Structure 1
């Protein structure tokens, strides 16, 4: 953190630095279903489209998913599913902007932290994927 804003959050198996342990604890609580931590996320670098995508993703309820196409429509650019994927690929705040809830129409789609973590997060949120979607995740 610098000057009170969070620049990026990365998922890691390593123990967090003591400076960030309180923030990490609040994020872990959020993953388990607790309230979203009130963090000042620095999104000043985002384009208008990226902001629209991130706003749309923030409105996907816990335990639910939306397709890249759905998010493109909500963001005001129907047909821009690939651009949604590109915006989510550079999301510096996975979990806080829950891009793991955005899936492809035929499977889980990508995730900057890896498909296994995406599937684990969806499982924690009690979202059940179909057998075809789970199979696709292991192949794709």
Structure 2
């Protein structure tokens, strides 16, 4: 795990903590839109998916049942905007019975100690 306190050029990195399921509120979509916008501006962004936020990375979403748009396309666009660190809390996955193999390929599973380190060492945190 890398230190998340400052980018190599001296600018601050931003941690976006994604806690909400992908549908039901606009928070999940807003977190991805924030990451895309910040990435386009050259800001160093890390996304941390915890609690029900891990569902945002689940590959087998059937949004046609609820007449919603799957924001998987937005997630897959993140690397194009320089957003390459999508971290997922291992405990949150376990509590929901989700296997890492069922997540998007760009996500990295981290344990609780890594989550604690990330939160403790990041100066700018936005929670969605």
TM-score of Structure 1 vs Structure 2, range by shorter chain: 0.3 to 0.5
More strand by share: 2
TM-score by length of 2: 0.34
Higher RCO (Cα < 8 Å, 6 or more apart): 2
TM-score by length of 1: 0.32
Query: Larger radius of gyration, structure 1 or 2?
Result: 1
